[in-house]
Chain A
Amino acid sequence: MKALSDIRVASLLALALLVAGGFALPDWALFLMTIGLAKALVSLGIVVQMRAGLVSFGQGLFFCIGAYVAGLMANFAGLTDIFVLTGISVLACLAIGGIFGPLLANYRGIFFAMLSLSLSMILYGILSKMNSLGGTDGLNVAAPTFAGYAPEGRALSLSLYLYTSVIVVAIGAVLRTGFDSQHGLVSLAVRSNELRVEYLGASVRRTNAINYVISAMLGGIGGVITGLAIGHVDPEYAYWTTSGEFVFVAILAGYLSIPAVFVASIILELVRSFSNLYFPNTWQMVLGVFLLVIILTLPNGLGSLFHRRREGGS
């Protein structure tokens, strides 16, 4: 019970901090934080799978589906309510993840990585060729409304940011509980030795499929928020380099700590913004060097720095 109240306290603190920040931050930082937090949800999906030893190089698939749900609903059904849009994209990702999850649950390591990548590239190919959905130019997305409230300008970015903060903290709390649950612990066991897990009576396939579906829904939420915040969606959301960035954040954060994922994602967005401004032609190089240094020096990611004591960095 103590652990549960720990999570509650931590979540409330995090939320208070985020909300306070929202009123203090300038517009550009508010936007950057919204994008950083939303994309962190997608990376969090990869972390969920990483805990069972799988790395998906195709999380852009669900990121893109989520974003396109927002774009399509706004353009063709006139729906702009953010709660409805989030709900629909979660359902869409649940359905699609539910189909691919059990299929992909048979694959490990590099095959899982590459097969998930190919699924997202299939979506990329379809969207690029569908002129009714804007082809490679994509779609513009109308500004969201919040249960009837239709803010503009600063109020809009603040509302979106607050919405994102609440979702992010709620998901963080749920996942932390989930990581410590039976399913979460079996995932960790799958990571270290899946044959033993099978002998002990747990189903590795089922564990992997459930993790896949969870990460699909997280990807969808991240996609909706990003699509709404940017106001535009295009097939690049499903391109493999987009997925690569999510993996980058997941590796940077490691699988031990949830807050680390958000920190890593915001770091990436900061580095991206500032590098784009000051050295537009070398920012990828900076990322690459950073990634190599992390892999060489912190194999379990940033999260292992402040989480070593509890899980022993295993």
Chain B
Amino acid sequence: MDLILVILVDGLIYGAWLFIVSVGLTLVFGVLGILNLAHGSLYAIGAYSTATAVGIYFAYGGDAFPLGSYAVMALAALLVAVVIAPLLERGLLRHFYHRDEVIGVLVTYGVFLILEDAIKLIWGVDPLFVYEPYDLLGMVEAGPLFYVAYDFLVIAVSAVTGFAVWYFLNRTRRGKVMLAVIHDREMSQTMGVNVDKVFLLAFGAGVFLAAFGGALTAPMISVSPGIGVNVIIVAFAVIIIGGLGSIEGAALGAVMVGISRAASVHLMPELELFIIYFVMAVVLIFRPEGIFVRTQTRKI
């Protein structure tokens, strides 16, 4: 009984984290039609910015109000989005909207290569640590086990983020306009929607979510080169399971992958590394386009 509980809690924590790091990817694909391979690098940049910003915060008297470091984390992610999103979207990606989806993958692969080295140039190759925010909330007793409360904060933040994205898309005017663009770009343009602006907004949101995922993760890990490389692949698995471009799908995919991985860690640790891709392969065999996805008409 305890084992099942442990697997569920661990799976939920990991799933929540997965959702945060993959929801931006699925949003960008849904609106722009570009599967952003550089998503992991943006995540890494978010983590590095947070490490720097929180470090500065505590160096200049942040100890008086340590909880403020959470605000600093969010601000760091926002800053990353404001600086990088317009550059990438206006400067590069918009040239590829009419091209094949695979071209989008290749272009963002190029961006990934560039950003990976840019990170090393800016922050160096030595790992950075920002443990303060992780320890702030203390421990939580859950049945027979103790968890770091920060892990539960990740679950809460993930749930709030998911709800916010859903609310924005389904209950606000701007969000509905964005949905209209997803469904039919040309028609929305004819109806007077400024599609360029919608694209920039969506990509900005995607970059923010990636960077925010990194910001949230930074206190839990040692921030070092290469952290983005692994993230991108699990994020892909999650959104492909759920169906590319679907927010609900990303949530379901994240929970499925999270729990499968937790189960394998506790039951068959040797399978841990490939269980994610295994789940993805199985889902794709039965639902070739993912779980939540609209059927598409074939092009003649």
Whether B277 lies near A122 (C-beta < 8 A) is yes
Whether A57 lies near B92 (C-beta < 8 A) is no
Residues of A within 8 A of B109 (CB): 244, 247-248, 288, 291
User: Known contacts A114-B240, A291-B109: does B117 contact A285 (CB below 8 Å)?
Assistant: yes
A13 within 8 A of partner (CB): no
Could you give, for residues 264-294 of chain B, a 1 whenever the CB lies within 8 Å of some chain A CB and a 0 otherwise?
Answer: 0000001111110110110011001100000
Q: Which residue of A lies closest to B112 (CB)?
A: A288
Number of B interface residues, CB 8 Å?
46
Could you give, for residues 79-113 of chain A, a 1 whenever the CB lies within 8 Å of some chain B CB and a 0 otherwise?
Answer: 00000000000000000000000010011011101
Whether B284 lies near A115 (C-beta < 8 A) is yes
Nearest CB in chain A: distance from B269 CB, A: 8
Q: Indicate which residue in A113, A117, A281, A288 contacts B121 across the interface (CB closer than 8 Å).
A: A281
Whether A288 lies near B106 (C-beta < 8 A) is no
A125 within 8 A of partner (CB): yes
B98 within 8 A of partner (CB): no
Q: Which residue of B lies closest to A195 (CB)?
A: B300
Whether A247 lies near B114 (C-beta < 8 A) is no
Bound Cα distance from A129 to B269, whole angstroms: 9
Whether A119 lies near B110 (C-beta < 8 A) is no
Bound Cα distance from A145 to B33, whole angstroms: 51
Q: How large is the interface on A (under 10, 10 to 19, 20 to 34, 35 or more residues)?
A: 35 or more
Bound Cα distance from A210 to B30, whole angstroms: 32
Whether A110 lies near B244 (C-beta < 8 A) is yes
Whether A122 lies near B118 (C-beta < 8 A) is no
User: Known contacts A122-B274, A284-B116, A285-B118: does B106 contact A295 (CB below 8 Å)?
Assistant: yes
Within 8 A of B (CB), among A278-314: 281-285, 287-289, 291-292, 295-296
User: Known contacts A109-B100, A111-B240, A118-B280: does B114 contact A288 (CB below 8 Å)?
Assistant: yes
Residues of A within 8 A of B35 (CB): 110, 114
Could you give, for residues 245-263 of chain A, a 1 whenever the CB lies within 8 Å of some chain B CB and a 0 otherwise?
Answer: 0011001000000000000
Whether B233 lies near A121 (C-beta < 8 A) is yes
Nearest CB in chain A: distance from B172 CB, A: 29
Whether B110 lies near A57 (C-beta < 8 A) is no
Q: Which residue of A lies closest to B118 (CB)?
A: A285
Whether B298 lies near A110 (C-beta < 8 A) is no
Whether B285 lies near A281 (C-beta < 8 A) is no
Q: Which residue of A lies closest to B226 (CB)?
A: A241
Residues of B within 8 A of A109 (CB): 100-102
Nearest CB in chain B: distance from A119 CB, A: 7
Whether A111 lies near B236 (C-beta < 8 A) is no
Nearest CB in chain A: distance from B282 CB, A: 10
Residues of B within 8 A of A287 (CB): 110, 113
B111 within 8 A of partner (CB): yes
A126 within 8 A of partner (CB): yes
Could you give, for residues 104-128 of chain B, a 1 whenever the CB lies within 8 Å of some chain A CB and a 0 otherwise?
Answer: 0111011111111110110001000
A158 within 8 A of partner (CB): no
A128 within 8 A of partner (CB): yes
Bound Cα distance from A57 to B240, whole angstroms: 15
Residues of A within 8 A of B229 (CB): 241
Q: Which residue of B lies closest to A282 (CB)?
A: B117
Residues of B within 8 A of A107 (CB): 284, 288
Could you give, for residues 36-73 of chain A, a 1 whenever the CB lies within 8 Å of some chain B CB and a 0 otherwise?
Answer: 00000000000000000001010000000000000000
Nearest CB in chain B: distance from A232 CB, A: 21
A-side interface residues toward B, CB under 8 Å? 55, 57, 103, 106-107, 109-111, 113-115, 117-119, 121-122, 124-126, 128-129, 193, 195-196, 240-241, 244, 247-248, 251, 281-285, 287-289, 291-292, 295-296
